[in-house]
Structure 1
Amino acid sequence: MQLQVQNSQATDIDVIFEFYDLAIAHQKKVFNKHWQGFNMDMVQTEINENRQYKILIDGVVACVFAVTFNDPLIWGTRDHDAIYIHRIVTHPDFRGYAFVKEIIKWAKDYAVGNNIKFIRMDTWADNKKLLGYYTDCGFNYVGVVTMEKTDGLPKHYEGISLSLFEIVL
């Protein structure tokens, strides 16, 4: 099995949105909250800025994720020296491949080469299954934030509390 992490290309946008649709359907089955969809321009900007990624297994897209390098609405005064991982989606055919651990390996390599001190993530504060999974993957739980300002963030951030996680490098 060959695993590769690559930047997504403009030609991947339909696949990315297909993955988001699959994730929303899954979220509706297993949790009481779900994503509300995403703006095409936001994803296109991430692709153009080399912040949207795909994981290929033997040449097949198995997972997608996005990153940013600032996240002040979520992280407030702690927003510095970090790579923030967002919207990890695994295709149902590839569940169980531990892609979060692969993304962490990739992010550590990226961070070392770019003088970044933290790898960070967030999820709904009441999603106990993901809270446990992220700590099992090596993230430290660092608290909860209740979203007040959400301008520029996807709709599902409105009026929620998030659990915050980080790995200190």
Structure 2
Amino acid sequence: MIKKAEISDINQLLQITKSCAKDMIDKQIFQWNEFYPSKEVLQKDIVLQQLWKLEIDQNIIGLIVLTEIEDAEYENVKWLTKNHHNLYIHRLAIHPKFQGKGYAQKLMEFAENYAMENNYISIRLDTFSQNKRNQQFYKQQNYTQLGAIYFPKQSEHPFYCFEKIVNV
């Protein structure tokens, strides 16, 4: 079941992102670390009502942020659509114990249905250039890879932007 996260979920959500960060670091993918995503970032997502959780048997196993807020880093990206009523995905995470079972796909399907139901023109996101698995995942979902952006506090390597048009 996918539903909006609540403040009472914060410790479980943080445990998922920390487990994902450790798993990526173990695989030499330095996308997330002990500082990001932080408890404060997740709390802000919850307060803004943009963090959704995936529960299986009343346990949170994944999360996704759906927001209309465009990060400043996206300003110079040559998007497929105009900057008008776009949905942005951030912090898609599935606990490593549950990865490879189609749960990320379920969250992406939820995001796309949410976007279509709410008349968003497109969905935009970014993923780390060193995370080949994520890049392949988004391409399989028919997202178009666009320009690169940088988050200097996270990595010296770029993040690739992707977009999918969902309503014309």
Whether TM exceeds 0.5 here: the answer is yes
The aligned residue for residue 60 of structure 2 is 61
Alpha-carbon displacement from aligned partner over 1:28-60 (angstroms, at most 9, x marks no partner): 111241313233333212112211111112322
C-alpha separation between the residues in 1 aligned to 2:145 and 2:20?
A: 24
TM-score, normalization: structure 2?
0.82
Letter of the 2:32 partner, please give it: W
Alignment of 1:64-83 (within 5 A): 64-76=63-75, 78=79, 79-83=83-87
Alignment of 1:1-169 (within 5 A): 4-36=1-33, 37=35, 38-76=37-75, 78=79, 79-147=83-151, 155-156=153-154, 159-169=156-166
Aligned length: 159
CA, structure 1 residues 127+91, in 2 after alignment: closer, same or farther (shift >3 Å)? closer
TM-score, normalization: structure 1?
0.82
Which protein has the bigger helix share?
1
C-alpha separation between the residues in 1 aligned to 2:95 and 2:135?
A: 20
Consecutive aligned runs of 4 or more in structure 1 exceeding 4 Å deviation:
none
8 Å contact kept, 1:70–1:80: no
Which runs of 5 or more structure 1 residues have no equivalent in the other structure?
Answer: none
Which runs of 5 or more structure 2 residues have no equivalent in the other structure?
Answer: none
Give the fraction of aligned pairs with identical amino acids, expressed as a percent. Answer: 21
CA, structure 1 residues 58+39, in 2 after alignment: closer, same or farther (shift >3 Å)? closer
